[in-house]
Structure 1
Amino acid sequence: MVNYFELFSLPIQLPVDVAQLTTHYQQLQKQYHPDNFAVVNDINKVAIVQKSATINDGYRTLKNPIKAAEYFLSLQGFDVATEQSIIHDTDFLMEQFVLREKLDDIESKDNFELLDDFYAEIVARQKIVYNELLQFITNQDWSKALNQIYKIRYLARLIEQIEKLQEEQFDL
């Protein structure tokens, strides 16, 4: 498996320096762009296309703070993609229940302004959980870090629902 941090000559740490990532990404894309290898044989073309795809995948992964955190934890030996996402934090689960009820209430009122305010609230909540995740990673408290990933996923799904409702309201 290719280590994306090494691919982009970045320190293996979070948060990722996106400016440095972008600079290295652009350099690698220029170097491995398939158009630069139009005259090579088919076997080498396949290798170049695969390398270019790896560069693009690595960039998308490390550019997204949540995906970068999941990837970082995978480098620590955790299978965050298939891991059971069981949250044992009952307060958080209750909060999610309340937030979903609030979203249902806002949706029934069909109030775009309330929806925007709620969106801002959830995005701010997700940032708090992400910052807590970074602290747990710094302290190498892996079980709490994994729990934060699962919490972020809950919040991300809620954000997606809100964005879908915002799009629907915009289309009216």
Structure 2
Amino acid sequence: MPNRHTAPKAFTCVHKDTGHRETNFGGLIYSANTVFLSRSCFTSQVKLNCWKCKKLLDRTPSFFCDSCKSIQPPEEGTSYFKIMDCDYTFTLDTQKLQTRYFQLQRTLHPDNFGQKSVKEQEYSESQSALVSKAYKTLLKPLSRGLYMLKLEGMHLKESTDSVAESQFLLELMEVNEALDEAQTPEEVNKIAQDTKGMLNQRKMKQILAPKD
């Protein structure tokens, strides 16, 4: 995982849309009740138009055009959390996730587009497959956590260190759960300090580890 052994540096990020202030410790951002990995404070969205009637699509992602009701192609780069209408958090509501999955598949499944144009059939197959992949990825804690790291530009290597990497991931997820349960700013600050200590400890282990 790139830079995970770098000594934590604290800085503050203020979201331009909400004014919400968050503090970053070595890539771990924490606010009043949540912590997540982040490399960027801001995101941008590109407005798209319907491929058929050319009207502006108001929602992201848009599975269907509100004007002509035509199915739309998958939007490149849309996160699985947006597709499944879930909060960007490790401790998401899996029951809500499952409900969303069945709702989408009832409308997007290729069986519903047998009498439509070839293009619409192709879009249906692509959308249905993407929803299935998003659902399977977010359903299980480990694949969900790995995907969250991937969104932030951090990838676990497929190597003999995979067990250690997975353990590090689980440690980060435990920080999430602890912050969810924190009731006071003092508790949040203690968790932040413990997290900094954990990152420093892993840095020292990396330094002292024997070289191949």
> TM-score normalized by structure 2?
0.42
Q: How does 1:41-120 map to 2 (within 5 A)?
A: 41-80=117-156, 82=157, 86=161
Which among 90, 95, 119 is matched to residue 14 of structure 1? Answer: 90
Q: In the alignment, is the contact (CA less than 8 A) between 1:32 and 1:51 conserved in 2?
A: yes
Does 1:24 pair with 2:100? Answer: yes
- 1:33 Cα deviation after fit: 1.1
Alignment-mate amino acid for residue 39 of structure 1: Q
Does 1:134 pair with 2:210? Answer: no
CA separation in 1, counterparts of 2:110 and 2:96? 23
Q: In the alignment, is the contact (CA less than 8 A) between 1:34 and 1:48 conserved in 2?
A: yes
Alignment-mate amino acid for residue 172 of structure 2: L
Q: How does 1:161-172 map to 2 (within 5 A)?
A: none
Alignment-mate amino acid for residue 94 of structure 2: V
Alignment-mate amino acid for residue 98 of structure 2: T
Unaligned runs of 5+ in 2: 1-76, 180-191, 203-212
**Pair 78,131 (structure 1): closer, same or farther in 2 beyond 3 Å:** closer
Equivalent residue pairs, number: 106
**Pair 12,29 (structure 1): closer, same or farther in 2 beyond 3 Å:** same
- 1:55 Cα deviation after fit: 0.4
CA separation in 2, counterparts of 1:47 and 1:16? 28
CA separation in 2, counterparts of 1:28 and 1:5? 14
Q: Secondary structure at the match of 1:10?
A: coil
Q: If each structure's helix is expressed as a fraction of its own residues, which one has the higher value?
A: 1
Q: In the alignment, is the contact (CA less than 8 A) between 2:146 and 2:169 conserved in 1?
A: no
Alignment-mate amino acid for residue 71 of structure 1: Y
Alignment-mate amino acid for residue 173 of structure 2: L
CA separation in 2, counterparts of 1:84 and 1:136? 25
**Pair 74,85 (structure 1): closer, same or farther in 2 beyond 3 Å:** farther
Q: If each structure's strand is expressed as a fraction of its own residues, which one has the higher value?
A: 2
Q: Deviations over 1:135-160 (max 9, x none)?
A: 3456687x96xx8xxxxxxxxxxxxx
Which among 115, 120, 142 is matched to residue 39 of structure 1? Answer: 115
> TM-score normalized by structure 1?
0.51
CA separation in 2, counterparts of 1:74 and 1:131? 15
Alignment-mate amino acid for residue 48 of structure 1: S
Q: In the alignment, is the contact (CA less than 8 A) between 1:16 and 1:68 conserved in 2?
A: no
CA separation in 2, counterparts of 1:73 and 1:66? 11
